[in-house]
Amino acid sequence: MLTFGELIRRNGLYWGHKDAFVEADRRRSWHEFHSRTDALGFATRRLGAAAGDRVAILSADCIEVAETFGACMKIGAVRVGLNPRLTQPEIAALVADCTPTVIFVHRDYLDQAEKAAFAMPAGRGEARIIEFGSPASEYERLIAAESDQPELVQTPHPTAMIAYTTGSTGLPKGAVYPHGAFLQSILYTAMLEGIDPSTRWLHTMPAAGVPLMHMVRNLFHAAATVIVGPWSAEHALFLIGREHTTNVVLVPTMLNSLLESSMLERTDMSSMRLFGYGASPLPPKTIKKAMKAFGRPFLQMFGTTELMGMSMMLFPSDHELGITTRPEILASAGKPLPFVDVKVVDGDGCSLPPGETGELIVRSDTQFSGYWNAPEKNVEVIKDGWIYTGDLASRDEAGYVYLSDRAKFRIRSGGYDVFPTEIENALAEHPAVSEVAVIGLPDEQYGERIHAVVTTVPGKTVTSDELREFCRNKIAAFKVPKCIDIWTEIPKGPTGKIQKRAIIEHFTSEAASRPASSDDKS
C-alpha cells in the first residue's frame, strides 16, 4: 500500500533539492523534510509513542505541523490536530477524549497544553509535552539527537489521524481517518485540481482538522506548499508575489479581505493558476467580483469532515457558464465528483426527484471509518454505508446540487463549522436568560454570521454586549454571536418546540439589516 511516509521518502530521494514547505523566513527542501521527519519519528518513538498511539499538535499553521504529521505517518502514530483558537476547556475536552502520548505544542500555546494534559483522566497515562518555536527548543534538540540514525524503518498502520468536529450536541466528535482512504482522497482532489511538479500551493486554512489535506497536497509530484500561517491578506499577497504561488483555497473571509486590500493592485498575480474557495457559502455577487478582480479561474469545493475531503465541485467551466448563461448555478455547490455517490433523500431514505428538497447523503471509498469513542454517533450518521450529512439540498435536471438549509442548523462561519447548541448552552448559563435560539444568517464577509435571539427571566435585564462578553470565556471567539437580539417571545410550534425557521424568515424578510447590537425587537 502506498503510504504518506513512503511518498515523503521518495520525494526526499528523487527530488531532494526542491522546496517542500516554505514560510516567510524559513523553508525546507524535500531532502530536509524527509531527514527531519525520520529523526522526529525516532524521537517520538523514544518518547513512548507506539503504533496506534495518539500524538497531538497544538499550533497555528507552520512547518512543524507538516513535520509532526510526517513523523506520525512514518511510525504509525495517530495524528490529532488541536485548533489553538479553541478555548482552554475545549482543548482540555479533546485531549481528555483522545488521551495522547505526546503533545507537540508551539511555545505560544504551551500554557494551554500543560493545563489540558494535567486534566487528562486518571489512569490514562501522562502526556509528554514537547515545545517548539525557537532554534533552541526541545523539539529541535530531539531532532538533532537523532539526525545520525540510519533511515527509519516505517511502521504500516491502518489509521492516519483523528479530525475533531463539533457535534450537533455541542460535544466534540473525533472522525477517524483510515490511512489509505485519506491518502486516496487527497490524491483524487489533487488530480482534479491539476496539481503537477511545478505547483506552489498557498496554504491558508487551519490544518488542525480536514484542511490538513490542503497543506500536504504537495506530497504528490514533490510540489511545494507555501504556508501563510495566521491569516493576513497582506502577508498572503506578499507570498504570492515572492514565491510565485500557483494554487490556493480560501474561505469567504479571506477572499473578501484580499479584495479589500490596498496591496491587491500592486501584487503580480500572473503565477496564479486557480483560486479555490469553500468551507462557507459565498454569495454569487462576491464570486463575480472576485473573478473580475483576479482574472483567474475559480473552483468551488464542497466537502465534509466525515468524507475526509471533497464530495462536490463547481469547476472553472461551470463558473464561466454561470457568468454567461446560467447565473443560478453560481449559488450551487457544484456536481458530485467521480469517486463520490450523492443522493437527496426523504425521511425514509428514498431518493427524491430533481427539484425536491431532502437530506443530502454521500458515500465513497474515501470516507471516515467512524467517530472516536462514540459508537452511538456512528449509528446516527452512517446508515447502510451512506453518510447522512444533516444538510438539506436539492438537485436540478443538470445534476447541480443546491444547499437550501442545514437540517441540524449547522452554521459555517469564516471557514469553521459551528453548531448552535453549543452557543445556546453557553448563553443559557447567564442568570438573566430564559430561552435562546441561535441561527446563521447570510453574510458577505463570513459566509454566515452567528445571530442569537433570547428572552429574559421576568424581573431581570441584560444587554446584548453583556451577553457577548459572557460568552467569551465559555466558547471560542469565532463562535460568539455577532448579534444578539432580546425579544419578548420566541416563536414556537404546536408542541412547544422553538421554530428556528420562523426566526430566520423574520430576519431575511426585512428590507434593511438589523443593527450589530440591538436590545429590543422592533
Q: Write out pLDDT tens, residues 483-493.
A: 999 999 888 75
pLDDT of residue 443: 87
Task: Find the length of the chain.
Answer: 522
Collapsed DSSP state (helix, strand, coil) of residue 186: helix
> How far is it, in rounded angstroms, from Cα 344 to Cα 356?
8
- CA 348 to CA 141: how far, in whole Å? 58
**Which grid coordinates belong to 60?**
497555528
The domain 4-230 is placed in CATH, from the list 2.40.10.220, 3.40.50.12780, 3.30.70.270, 3.40.50.300, at 3.40.50.12780
pLDDT in tens, 498-511: 778 789 888 888 63
| For residue 113, pLDDT beyond 50 | yes
Fold adopted by 299-372+384-406: Luciferase; domain 3 (2.30.38)
- Domain locations along the chain: 4-230, 299-372+384-406, 411-508
Q: Which of 65-69, 99-103, 256-260, 332-336 has the lowest mean pLDDT?
A: 256-260
Please say if the pLDDT value at position 363 is more than 60: yes
Please check whether residue 304 is in contact with residue 387, taking contact to mean a CB–CB distance below 8 angstroms. Answer: yes
The arithmetic mean of pLDDT across residues 64-89, rounded, is 95
Contact 175, 68 (CB under 8 A): no
Please, are residues 436 and 453 in contact by the beta-carbon 8 Å criterion? yes
Count of C-beta atoms within a 10 Å radius of residue 274: 17
Hey, which bits of 444-497 come out as E strands? 447-456, 483-486
Q: What is the pLDDT of residues 282-311, one digit of tens each?
A: 677 788 889 999 999 999 999 889 999 999
> For residues 445 and 421, what is the distance between their CA atoms, to the nearest angstrom?
23
Strand partners, 302: 312
Q: How confident is the model at residue 522 (pLDDT cuts 50, 70, 90)?
A: very low
Give the residue ranges of DSSP H helices in 15-62. 30-46
pTM greater than the 0.85 cutoff: no
Q: What is the mean pLDDT of residues 65-81?
A: 98
- The β-bridge relationship of strands 370-372 and 382-383 is unpaired
Other beta carbons less than 10 A from residue 110's beta carbon: 16
| pLDDT number for residue 497 | 58
Give residue 166's pLDDT. Answer: 55
Which of 54-58, 288-292, 372-376 has the highest mean predicted lDDT (pLDDT)?
54-58
Residue 366, pLDDT > 90, answer yes
Confidence check: pLDDT of 22 > 50: yes
pLDDT for the residue 494: 37
Whether 368 shows a pLDDT value over 50: the answer reads yes
> What digits encode the pLDDT tens for the residues 410-464?
787 887 767 787 788 789 889 899 888 899 998 888 888 999 999 998 899 999 9
User: What is the mean pLDDT of the segment spanning 376-396?
Assistant: 92
On average, the pLDDT of the chain sits at 90
pLDDT over 80 at 391, yes or no: yes
Q: What is the pLDDT of residue 156?
A: 85
Model confidence at 495, pLDDT cuts 50, 70, 90, reads very low
Each residue's pLDDT tens digit, 156-197: 899 999 999 854 345 668 999 999 999 999 999 999 999 999
147-150 LR contacts (CB < 8 Å, sep 24+)? 147/35, 147/39, 149/38, 149/39, 149/42
pLDDT of residue 520: 46
Burial class (CB in 10 A: 0-12, 13-18, 19+), 497: exposed
What top-level class would CATH report for the domain 411-508?
alpha beta
Report the DSSP pairing between strands 298-304 and 274-278: parallel
pLDDT value, residue 86 = 87
Average pLDDT over residues 207-236: 95
Lowest mean pLDDT among 68-77, 354-363, 397-406: 397-406
Strand order in the sheet with 433-443: 433-443, 447-456, 483-486
Least confident of 31-45, 166-180, 242-256, 272-286: 166-180
248, 255 contact by CB (below 8 A): no
Q: What is the pLDDT of residues 122-167, one digit of tens each?
A: 777 789 999 999 999 999 999 999 999 999 999 989 999 999 985 4
